[in-house]
Amino acid sequence: MTEPRGLQAQGQPARYADLAAKARAGQWSAADDIDWRRPPRLPLWVTGDQARAAISQLYHGEIATSRMCRTLLDDFPPGPARQCLEFQIADETRHAEAYERYLVALSGIAAMDQHLAWALEAASRGPAGPLGTMVAFHVVVEGEVLRVQDSLARLLPCPLLRQINRRVARDEARHVAFGRLYLTEALVDLSAEARCQLYGWLHGLWRRTTERAVSESVSSGTARRLLRAWLSGGWSHHQAALRQIGLGPDADWGRAA
């Protein structure tokens, strides 16, 4: 597969400028804009260790995403698209700080889940160079973070966590909009074959990650079936997002170079 180094697609500067302006206006402080006087409040059926383990994965995901965005900076010339990326780095760093503060109140950060670690590492070594990495993080990893946040909000109705998640989700919606705009343009430069390979790689990465998570899950019976259903629901979610940027068997192949 040819490896497009330059992420040059920036044919709609006004739309990037609009997103960058929204990002500038939407900056907030993890220290000052969250009411840290409230302690975390967990339901009776969730232990502090279980909550810590789950929320720590959001923290590790934020750190990994901010690191990935930094690696892309060299491929973005100065301009509004680069500003969007710079604001995203500031956002992800702030999200990690907010989750870290919450976790400290829950007695500390737990280790990264081995399946998440494996998936993040694999996602940063995909085909199509930085473009493939950007698709993996902006569509699959960020999409997954939003799904986990949503599930956690239902399992852990903690007002402090809800306040953090609400602010984080607003920023993430901008990242999704940026990723969609940018990637839709950039992927047009890939041949149909290269796009097909990229889609196959993403699907394989997703399948291997979920198979590992289910097979090594300590739960059994109903819990394992629920985990499998939750995970497999994720792919149809990502598939729809990939279709919107021109990837997948039923995407708009007419735009292929």
- Choice between 30 and 198, CB closer to Fe ion: 30
Select the span of 114-122, 174-182, 197-205, 247-255 touching Fe ion (CB under 5 A): 174-182
- Choice between 75 and 142, CB closer to Fe ion: 142
* Footprint of Fe ion on 209-248 (CB under 5 A): none
Regarding 174 and contact with Fe ion (CB under 5 A), the answer is no
Which helix (H) or strand (E) covers residue 174, if one does? helix 159-187
- Choice between 172 and 185, CB closer to Fe ion: 172
Sign of dihedral through CA atoms 94, 99, 105, 110? negative
How does DSSP assign 88-116, residue by residue? HHHHHHHHHHHHHHHHHHTT-PPPPPHHH
Q: Kindly write out the interface string for residues 79-98 of this chain, putting x where it contacts Fe ion by CB under 5 A and - elsewhere.
A: -------------x--x---
Quote the least distance from Cβ 85 to Fe ion, whole Å: 11
Structure tokens that stand for 86 in this block: 């710079």
Select the span of 45-53, 135-143, 146-154, 237-245 touching Fe ion (CB under 5 A): 135-143
Instruction: Supply angle C-alpha 163, 230, 130, rounded to 5.
Output: 75
Regarding 185 and contact with Fe ion (CB under 5 A), the answer is no
What phi and psi values does residue 3 have, to the nearest 5 degrees? -110, 105
- Angle between helix axes 159-187 and 222-244 (nearest 10 degrees) is 40
Rounded CA separation 171/216 (Å): 33
- Choice between 97 and 252, CB closer to Fe ion: 97
- Choice between 152 and 196, CB closer to Fe ion: 152
Binding site residues, Fe ion, CB under 5 A: 62, 92, 95, 142, 172, 175
